[in-house]
């Protein structure tokens, strides 16, 4: 079972890039909040500051969840705490949704009542923000297939698009005196936020509804084709845990000459090696007759 827990645990290697992301996002958020007050209360800069605050907070939670997932299994969490990683996309979505709706309302109000803002100052901090995103992407690219990093990358992409919107807003105010663009930039940032919120929340819904993470029909076909001595596969219960699948199933092997323990060991290995199923651990119950047949005989 130790192999399962090792496979389910988040890698310690991602803690360093997460710390870098936390630092960059909070530093930029503070800088943007300061510039918000000195730029004429640009709602686009306020939106960018809120985005970075959300991103930094989510990365901080990701760091804590990752630390929790590295703890060894105990009596309370027999499979370890790898499931903490599944909470991160949901937290991402909720933060982005709330911030996005609020920014949308503020942007709409700013379009109706434009206000003079310091375009050069806004453009400068927005460019710095975009550059910081490229630094984060470079640091994290090595771990882009990790669920926690992939989830956080959505924030980085959102912030990059937000930064481009703020740059356009700042240039419009600085070079052309078009202050109403500030509100449109904020609305664009809000749309990015809400879109990413939906993107993150959609994969979480099937998990909450306990949807099978792998097609059971394909699983049955694979097992019976690979092991012809198995005449039936039933009670199939795959569960998604962190980045892997835990599987429970029953197989029927009528041939009395087949050693069930050896068969289960071979089947377990075959399922683990079949990468398309992502099965990390498998509990197999082997029977000479199907469960309903055994029950019928017992009741005679």
- CA distances from residue 137 to 20, 176, 247 in whole angstroms, order as listed: 11, 33, 35
CATH of domain 216-299: 3.30.70.1350
Q: What is the pLDDT of residue 295?
A: 45
CATH code matching the domain that covers 2-208, chosen among 3.20.20.70, 1.10.760.10, 1.10.10.410, 1.20.1510.10? 1.20.1510.10
| Model pLDDT, residue 244 | 74
Select from 185, 25, 193 the least CA-distant residue to 96.
193
pLDDT in tens, the chain (300 residues): 334 344 434 467 888 999 999 999 999 999 999 999 998 999 999 999 998 998 898 899 888 888 887 777 788 777 677 666 667 777 778 888 888 899 999 999 999 999 999 999 999 999 999 999 999 988 888 887 776 777 677 678 878 888 899 999 999 999 999 999 999 999 998 998 888 888 777 777 776 666 778 889 999 999 999 999 999 999 898 887 766 788 999 999 999 999 999 999 999 999 989 988 888 889 999 998 765 555 444 444
Break the chain into its structural domains and give their ranges: 2-208, 216-299
Domains 2-208 and 216-299 share a fold: no
């Amino acid at each position: 079972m130790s192999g399962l827990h090792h496979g389910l645990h988040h890698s310690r290697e991602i803690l360093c890039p997460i710390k870098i992301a936390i630092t960059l996002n909070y530093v930029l958020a503070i800088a943007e909040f300061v510039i918000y007050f000195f730029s004429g209360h640009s709602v686009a800069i306020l939106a960018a500051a809120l985005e970075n605050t959300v991103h930094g907070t989510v990365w901080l939670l990701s760091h804590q969840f990752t630390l929790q997932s590295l703890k060894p299994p105990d009596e309370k969490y027999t499979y370890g705490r790898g499931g903490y990683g599944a909470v991160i996309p949901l937290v991402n979505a909720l933060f982005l949704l709330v911030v996005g709706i609020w920014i949308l309302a503020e942007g709409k109000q700013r379009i109706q009542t434009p206000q003079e803002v310091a375009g050069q100052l806004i453009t400068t901090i927005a460019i710095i923000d975009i550059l910081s995103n490229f630094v984060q992407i470079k640091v994290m690219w090595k771990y882009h297939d990790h669920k926690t990093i992939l989830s956080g990358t959505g924030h980085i992409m959102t912030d990059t698009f937000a930064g481009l919107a703020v740059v356009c807003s700042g240039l419009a105010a600085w070079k052309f005196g078009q202050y109403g663009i500030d509100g449109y930039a904020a609305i664009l940032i809000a749309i990015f936020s809400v879109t990413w919120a939906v993107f993150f929340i959609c994969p979480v819904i099937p998990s909450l509804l306990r949807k099978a993470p792998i097609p059971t029909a394909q699983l049955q076909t694979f097992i019976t084709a690979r092991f012809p001595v198995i005449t039936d596969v039933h009670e199939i219960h795959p569960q998604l845990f962190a980045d892997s699948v835990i599987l429970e199933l029953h197989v029927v092997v009528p041939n009395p000459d087949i050693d069930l323990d050896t068969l289960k060991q071979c089947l377990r290995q075959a399922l683990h090696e079949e990468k398309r199923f992502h099965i990390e651990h498998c509990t197999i119950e082997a029977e000479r007759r199907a469960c309903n047949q055994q029950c019928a005989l017992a009741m005679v």
